[in-house]
Amino acid sequence: MKIRALSVFESVIYHSHVVDPSNPCRPTLEVDAVVRDGDIDAGPLLLPVAEYMVMVGAEAGQACLPELKRRGRVTEHLGVPHLVFSTWTPLDIEHR
């Protein structure tokens, strides 16, 4: 599945949508956002697991989460589970 991030703040993805829903257990990320120092350069980008579950649906999400956790793709940030994107594709990033 391909997810496009539209807003990122301090490594957390706040607005995103699905570009390609195929293969939900292998999510990839594109970034198309206005960013400031510290938004995308301080480590991996994080998508709340709850948002991922809405994108893929409960059944597919429950099937994919154990494998994502096993591969180290899920972490906790501020007490909330997040999907980790250590690498991603920049599309149109404007630094302000």
pLDDT per position as a tens digit, 8-48: 999 999 999 999 999 999 999 999 998 899 899 888 999 99
Domains of the chain, by residue range, sit at 2-95
| 82-83-88 Cα angle (round to 5) | 130
pLDDT per position as a tens digit, 40-86: 988 899 999 999 999 999 999 999 999 999 999 999 999 999 999 99
Strand 28-31's sheet: what is its strand order?
Answer: 74-77, 80-85, 45-48, 12-20, 2-9, 28-31, 89-90
Question: pTM of the predicted model, to two decimals?
Answer: 0.92
pLDDT of 94 reads 80
